[in-house]
Structure 1
Amino acid sequence: MSAHHHIQPPATTPDDDADLARWDDDGAPPAQPQPSPAAWLRVGAELGDRLVVLSGRQDLIVTCRPGTRSGAPAAYFPMLGEVEFDAELFAPLQPHEVHPRIPGDEDRYPAAWGVFVHEAAHATHTVWRQPPDAEPRVVEAALLLEESRAEGAHLTRRPMDRTYLRTSARTLVMPDIANPRVAGIEHAATVAALILGRRDVGILDAGETRAVATLCKKVLGANLLATLTGIWTAAHQCADHDAATMLTHAQDWCDALDTALPSRPVPENLADLLSGAVGVVMDRMAANDLADRTAQAAADSALARRAERQAKGRAQQAEQRRKAAATAKSVFTPRGTTVSPDGTPAPYYSPVTGTRRPTTAEQRAAASLSRALRAAAYRERTEERTTSPTPPGRLNMGRALARDAQRAAGAVPTAEPFTHTRRHNSPTPPLRVAIAVDVSGSMSAACGPVASAAWIVARAAALTGPDSRTATIAYDQYLTALTRPTHRPPERVVQFDANGRAHNLADAIDALDHGLDLSRPGTGRLLVIVTDAQYTPNETANAVTRINRLTTAGCAALQLTLTDESRHLPGTTLLHLPRPSSTPAAIAQAATDAIRRTR
């Protein structure tokens, strides 16, 4: 059993209880319970789990408690394999509110996570060891150069951590600037290494660090600053284990400062100037980070809205497909009833007036159209020619002699003298013709020609091939199937009149699309709309939406009109027929062109 279970709170006496009761309501805010150091043990363990991902090492532990042994917000102890972390970095969060094991929880405490990423960078890349006889000042300089070198190496492995490393700079650098352990020229050089070194590895931007760069150039001089810049730039290229090279760069650092110390005057308020310049850097960093977060939030919001619109559009399309399927099922029934778009029978109304036998002229027109469709659908056989060094195939003497010459010359023969031709039959595309005829009161002149054209096209499509299908729907506010998408051609011509009201073209197109697969490529597809398009704006908009969807999928759309007052439906090819009797020929020509264009 854990020893913690044996620790009990101190007992109280009755007098103590009386005192507590007397002071219980003294007007002061209620005392806030302070979490014990043991409450942070779980946070430390979860930080250790995330440290494996950040550093790639599994031999490290993380201890999290209020305060640290080193006095720094966090520290890495190479010999102990430990990263200690000050729990105060999570303020004002309490330990039960911190869950580092959950990816994304770090966004609630970016400053603390930035410090943790910084220590992870040291745990991964600060693996060189100082010799026992190394001069302490040189080791201090090497550790100073290591600050930006380790972060730059970490950024190379994990560029997504740049935001957190920028945050850690505000948490770690400012205390070092405000409470320097060195003064004068060395203080300015330290600030340059901490700020400008991070600039050169890509953590800070040049515009953000301009105040420090200008002040350090004035205090150190252009030559000394260039020398120091060259030293930390060379240190950034040092390998993780190369202690000798790091100490060499550190020695060069110390030598450059020793050379400049006697000759460089130092302003009396240098510490304040440096703190002010670093404060400007931090303010610009905070402003840039805020702008980046705002831009990212706007981009994420736009992306979310776009995804929501796409999901809504997909849902609407699915709902529209279900509705179209239900409409097609209710329209294309053997009973031939007139139905509403929702599938309910129309009350006491049907434009169908009867049927008749096809005339001899219509039968000849169907046969002629069938021959024209078969001719348009015919595809030549494709040929594929391949060469090979061995039979089968037709021998090409020129390549055979070239192969013999290559072999005689001692070269590897590359000529292929045999040619083989493979011929492939191209499939004949089937035909899909959908006819939507307006049976409102203004379209009475089109009834006879369209009835004839519907029978001719259906008969010709059936004679063309078993996969060709057509369908015709008469529409006003209701829908009536005149021909259905079956493999059997109609025996009789369906006659109808035009006495309806309103124009439900959108649902007629949906039913035809579902019944004939007008949106699916691979067939000769044609949508014929016989109408004067005297619609309301809402009726026109709904119809145009369906037409555009079909034309985008490759289906041809033709609008036939009989009067000069007709309007054009956008997305269709408008064909004005002064003589209604020419309607069958126009539809036949459009169907032939549609199947000819199919590939």
Structure 2
Amino acid sequence: MSAHHVQSPATAPDDVADLARWADDGAPPAQPRSSPAAWLRVGAELGDRLVDLAGRQDLLVTCRPGTRSGAPAAFSPSLAEVEFDARLFAPLQPHEINPRIVGDEERYPAAWGVFVHEAAHAAHSIWTEPAGAAPRVVEAALLLEESRVEGQHLLRRPTDRTYLRASARTLVMPDIAHPTLQGIEQAAGAAALILGRRDIGILDAAETRAVAELCEQVLDAPLLATLTRIWGAAQQCADHDATTMLAHAQEWCDALDAATPALPVPGNLTDLLSDAAGAVMNSMAATDAADLAAQAAATHAMAAQSKAQAEDRAQRAGQRRKAAATAKSVFNPRSTTVDPDGTPAPYGNPVTGSRKPTAAERSAAARLSRALRAAAYRERTEERTTSPTPPGRLNMRAALARDAQRAAGSVPTAEPFTHTRRRTSPTPPLRVGIAVDVSGSMSAATGPVASAAWIVARAAALTDPDSRTATVAYDMHLTALTRPSNRAPERVTLFEANGGNHNLADAIDALDHGLDLSRPGAGRLLVIVTDAHYGSDETAQAVTRVKRLTAAGCAVLQLTLTTESQHLPGTTLLHLPKPSSAPAAIAKAATDAIRKAR
């Protein structure tokens, strides 16, 4: 094979004259017209991509306006060359086309589809016609080859279906509008080109209905069924099997010859086939547009979901930062009252003093500590394993089975030694946060809640060194009655309830961050002592925090003292007719929480 390399300037003489004439007129310089030499780079880059498409490295791709064969593109097996008409890229110019960049083909899907079709020929049109083969039979074989190679290509690269669909108009319509065959062979060729692509999955059955109905009228149903069977068999033919391929082509010619005398051919068959093929192309365009719209909608939905997730993560991060700041300001070293923004409140501290715990409170703390330790106890887990060798306890049945396997000449599989490994399960610590409403309607709860906070803190410290409790009083301001610590407070903190408004949301944030109520691995309990007579905004903010804690596995208990109290959604409501029963109720809830810890 010889090759001729002609070095041509990138700009034609006429272009040089134009550039010189308009060089100083103030307008943008004229763009040189494309020439065959300008397409050399595009052809070289197409050749690079052809290695992946066809799996061959011995092919040359030439890209220039027009081809020697006159077809949009052609593969020459003898020259190992793919000819490609540069006009398929219109209106793009050579400097706008970069086939070497994967994804650039999405800007010219029809041209790329034609290139993929020729790559399929290069990969699968390997059979060669034997000497003496009838030209008509070879032409029929080449007709059947059109859909066969695309079907074989899709087996290797199914994602190229989109481009092969886009190229159908470029490849099929010229063959139908300017046929080289006449009579029923023309209708049979159109059926092979369009319905053959339907059967390999490139076109949909609904899209090809117009051509299928016309071909059934022109060719008759039995003949169309015979031709369908022939091209279906040819599509399964091996790439190198020239004998079988020509046999299918011969059967194709024989079927047409036998049916020709009995089938009248319409005089306007070319127009009918062109109209039917146009209907197919329009249906394809509608399907592709719907697919693109659906894909765009899915992409938009995914982008919206990703954006929403990113915003949610940012919002959660902001909430965590705000909760950390709130906890830091509330649990300050001096236990001063703070505003929601963390600044010290000039007035409104509900703490009135402290006292020593009573003997009854000490006894209650000891009982609760024992109950918590019992609830936190976990049985040891046992794990039994077998092995063919010691250590372990010998199982005689398995030992005899092993001897029998060895005596029979087989590979012994019995494992006669059993070893039991016992592991102690860790005891979960306890996290208890108490948020007590100190607005004016909650004055009856101050004494019992102060006692309960000391009892729970004392019992948790006696149960596990990793256990922590904390109590926050809230109205519009926040005050730490007990701080997150594993040490029991020495005295009972006394407080009063004469505040106004409510700020439960920030109180929950402070307790959540200070005690890690949202983190698994401990028995977690949040106790809210309130009648919940809140405004709608206050309730909504508190319920959002409660739902977040319950979703994380933290138990949330609401204690009320009057029947007129409101129930906060998401909490377990417990009505206490006697305020003095609050310590026992909180102790029972803490015991249940550590028993269910995960």
Asked whether the two chains share a fold, i.e. TM above 0.5, the reply is yes
Aligned to 1:118: 117
Provide the C-alpha distance between the structure 1 equivalents of 2:396 and 2:14, rounded to a whole number of angstroms. 109
CA distance in 2, matches of 1:180, 1:336: 95
**Residues in 1 aligned to 2:97 and 2:352: alpha-carbon distance in whole angstroms:** 78
Cα gap change, 1:60/1:439 in structure 2, threshold over 3 Å: closer, same or farther?
farther
Q: Hey, what's the Cα distance between the residues in 2 that align with 1:279 and 1:177?
A: 10
2:10–2:38 Cα contact (<8 Å) kept: no
For 1:372, the equivalent position in structure 2 comes to 371
Partner of 2:456, secondary structure, is: helix
> Which letter maps to 2:57?
Q
Name the counterpart of 1:496.
495
Partner of 1:276: 275
CA distance in 1, matches of 2:379, 2:594: 15
Q: Which amino acid aligns with 2:434?
A: I
Provide the C-alpha distance between the structure 1 equivalents of 2:298 and 2:492, rounded to a whole number of angstroms.
Answer: 60
**Counterpart residue identity of residue 544, structure 2:** T
Q: Which residue of the partner structure matches residue 475 of structure 1?
A: 474
Distance 1:405 1:164, change over 3 A: closer
Q: Quick one: distance in 2 between partners of 1:58 and 1:414?
A: 52
| CA shift for structure 1 position 570 | 1.1
Partner residue in 2 for 1:47: 46
3-state SS in 2 of match to 1:470? strand
> Does the C-alpha gap of structure 1 residues 55 and 572 become closer, same or farther in structure 2, counting only changes over 3 Å?
same
Cα deviation 1:497-521 (Å, max 9, x = unaligned): 2222332222222221111111111
Go from structure 1 to structure 2 and tell me whether the alpha carbon gap of 1:414 and 1:126 turns closer, same or farther (over 3 Å shift): closer
Q: Distance in 2 between matches of 1:286 and 1:403?
A: 71
* Bigger shift: residues 36-45 or 194-203: 36-45
Spell out the pairing of 1:445-484 with structure 2 (5 A cutoff): 445-484=444-483
SS of residue in 2 equivalent to 1:582: helix
Deviations, residues 225-278 of structure 1 (Å, cap 9, x unaligned):
122111111111111122222122112212222222223221111111111111
Deviation at 1:308, TM superposition (A): 0.8
- Looking at structure 1, the residues matched to 442 and 387 of structure 2 have their Cα atoms a distance apart, in angstroms, of 66
Distance 1:513 1:110, change over 3 A: same
Residue 327 of structure 1 pairs with residue 326 of structure 2: yes
248 and 436 in structure 1: CA distance in 2 versus 1, 3 angstrom threshold = same
Q: 1:556 to 1:62 in 2, by over 3 A?
A: same
- TM-fit CA distance, 1:412: 6.1
**What is the aligned partner in structure 1 of residue 3 from structure 2?**
none
Whole-angstrom CA distance in 2 between matches of 1:587 and 1:316? 33
Paired position in structure 2 for 1:27:
none
Change (3 A) 1:556 1:249: same
Matches within 5 A, 1:22-41: 34-41=33-40
Counterpart-to-counterpart distance in 2, 1:64 and 1:494: 89
User: Deviation digits for residues 511-559 of structure 1, max 9, x if unmatched?
Assistant: 2111111111111111111111111222212211111111111111111
More displaced stretch, 431-440 vs 330-339: 330-339
| Cα pair distance change 1:469/1:159, threshold 3 Å | same
- Which amino acid letter does the alignment assign opposite residue 385 of structure 2? T
Q: 3-state DSSP class of the match of 1:484? A: strand
Take 1:582 and 1:211, find their aligned partners in 2: how far apart are those partners? 84
How far off its partner does 1:53 sit? Answer: 2.5
- Structure 2 distance, partners of 1:52, 1:597, is 62
* CA deviation map 1:162-202 (0-9, x unaligned): 11111111111011100001111110110010011001101
> Using the alignment, how far apart are the partners of 1:6 and 1:176 within structure 2?
35
How far apart in 1 are the matches of 2:56 and 2:511? 64
Partner in structure 1 of residue 358 of structure 2: 359
Residue 305 of structure 2 corresponds to 306
Letter in 2 for 1:460: A
Residue of structure 2 in register with 1:439 after alignment? 438
Percent sequence identity over aligned pairs: 77
Q: Which moved more, 1:193-202 or 1:322-331?
A: 322-331
For 1:76, give the aligned amino acid: F
Tell me what 1:241 maps to. Answer: 240
Match of 2:104 in 1: 105
Match of 1:530 in 2: 529
- The 3 A distance-change label for structure 1 pair 146 and 400 is closer
Aligned residues: 589
Question: What's the offset of the Cα at 1:487?
Answer: 2.1
| Residue 32 of structure 1: how far off its partner (Å) | 7.6
- Indicate how the Cα distance of structure 1 residues 181 and 432 shifts in structure 2: closer, same or farther if over 3 A, else same: same
Q: Secondary structure of the residue that 2:336 maps to in structure 1?
A: coil
CA distance 1:369–1:420, change in 2 (3 Å) = same
1:20-67 Cα shifts (integer Å, max 9, x gaps): 79xx9xxxxx99853223332332233223222322223323222222
Q: Which amino acid aligns with 2:441?
A: S
SS at match of 1:490: coil
The offset of 1:341, in angstroms, is 3.3
Go from structure 1 to structure 2 and tell me whether the alpha carbon gap of 1:93 and 1:446 turns closer, same or farther (over 3 Å shift): same
Amino acid at match of 2:219: L
Cα distance change, pair 3–99 in 1 and its aligned pair in 2 (3 A):
closer
- How far apart are the structure 2 equivalents of 1:412 and 1:83? 60
How far apart, in 1, do the equivalents of 2:288 and 2:414 lie? 66
SS in 1 for 2:39: helix
**Structure 2 CA distance, aligned partners of 1:335 and 1:344?**
13
Moved more, 338-347 or 353-362: 338-347
Determine the C-alpha separation between the residues in 2 that align with 1:593 and 1:37: 84
Matches within 5 A, 1:166-185: 166-185=165-184
Distance 2:72 2:400 in 1: 84
- In structure 1, runs of 5+ residues without a counterpart are 25-29
User: SS at the partner of 1:527?
Assistant: strand
Amino acid at match of 1:598: A
SS in 1 for 2:563: coil
Letter in 2 for 1:85: F
Match of 2:294 in 1: 295
What is the distance in 2 between the residues matched to 1:512 and 1:361? 27
Q: Which residue does 2:196 correspond to in 1?
A: 197
Deviation at 1:571, TM superposition (A): 1.0
Q: Specify whether residues 227 and 575 from structure 1 end up closer, same or farther in structure 2 by C-alpha distance, changes over 3 A only.
A: same
- Partners in 1 of 2:514 and 2:175 — Cα distance? 77
What is the aligned partner in structure 2 of residue 596 from structure 1? 595
Question: What's the counterpart of residue 141 of structure 1?
Answer: 140
The CA deviation at 1:204 is 0.8
Q: Deviations over 1:316-370 (max 9, x none)?
A: 1111111112222222222212223332222333222222221221111111111
How far off is 1:406 after superposition? 6.1
Seen in structure 2, the aligned counterparts of structure 1 residues 353 and 80 have a Cα distance that, compared at 3 Å, is farther
How far did 1:568 drift? Answer: 0.9
